[in-house]
Structure 1
């Protein structure tokens, strides 16, 4: 399993550095280096790209990214126990790996990377969705990254790619599909990880769109979607009444029946509604 480079197998690395996975950090380690290299390949041709990796742990995916030709990898790891193991990887790939002992939620990494930039990560379960929403809603568009290749619990992955009318369709689907093209590219069973989680996992590949799929103000769209899905069982005339005293008139003006519910609207309708709410009715 260590055929991708001359470094020791990950089980030996974990044993040497005492890297038992910590539930408090959302850690589940992938030990099959052939599998981590396969995940790296889902990001596309990495040659000529800088890569940001969050939560590298003992460095399995890091090694896959470097072996697949990433120009440079910035690995951000909160767990200080993992730094020595990652520094060993850095020495094996001189000048191509920078390791940061930091919390990814608290730092700005864009200045440390050179475009084109790809983000590839087996995200810690406890911060994965928050990081994704930050990358999809950075305050300006296009963002610093060109693609995201991220591992989530299968349930979260399905929410990202969900279609209208399905149980998984919600705020995350609207946000992701408004500004990117998203698809599930890999499935992983629990036994691929140590320790094995109780759920299946999946890798989602998102490619940014240079402009959003439909015109809308980002903040207004967020307000509409949050209100609609915050009370998803209610009709829109009830769930959106806080956004306008004339919400039924606004809905009708863009061809949406006030009796519809949030999961029945597609992305174009949410954007049309956001635009209509910018204009007093």
Structure 2
């Protein structure tokens, strides 16, 4: 895939700004001051024969790309925590990019305490994003998330158990700055069990699809942050150029991919026709081989 250079990013960013300016000052104000705060809760039903009836109506909440520190502060994150808890998740997953610039962020107990308040009886899990590894944040992120009772899935997996039934939750390292290893993450996994893969970058789905994985949850794209009528998104980062937002069924494979637009912004503090979002996935057993 083509790597995004600083020059190409600035060119695309300038195009975004010019496009919004052309739509008027009110649009610019809306994109900076209003839409970034309009959180959308998207609910998805996942029905597969590999899901045990014991997990019917089991709720997984995914949040991603908070980018705390860049036009998204701890007070906003605390409100997000409250919203997630109100949705009563069974399981919480975070798919990367917690803070925007780890080497410049003012690390304190407020963030750890907010993360710790997230409640899910079957656990809280996370994977690294490129911003988490960037800026020497790898060890600091691991320390903070562990203190907040989040379990890291870095080329590894865990077994979620209920009423003697199980499914697999796996995760890989960040594609851009980490060392992802799908085979290692699924080592000794029963391929007949329902399996969910957490991967920050969505475009790795074309590789994940070659493995016995049913669902991949990703972020990274921000949905492009800025979309225009009849044009769509103007820019997405490397490894989020093919799969940008929403659900995709990977052709000729069992894998379904869900890409979150995420919460925060990066590089430019705008969202236009691309609201921040969290996902609530409700599992259901099914006799068909299709996602509902």
Q: So what's the TM-score if we normalise by structure 2?
A: 0.36
- Name whichever structure is richer in helix by fraction: 1
Task: Decide which structure has greater strand share.
Answer: 2
Structure with the greater relative contact order (CA < 8 A, sep ≥ 6): 1 or 2? Answer: 2
Q: Please tell me whether Structure 1 or Structure 2 has the larger radius of gyration of its CA atoms.
A: 1
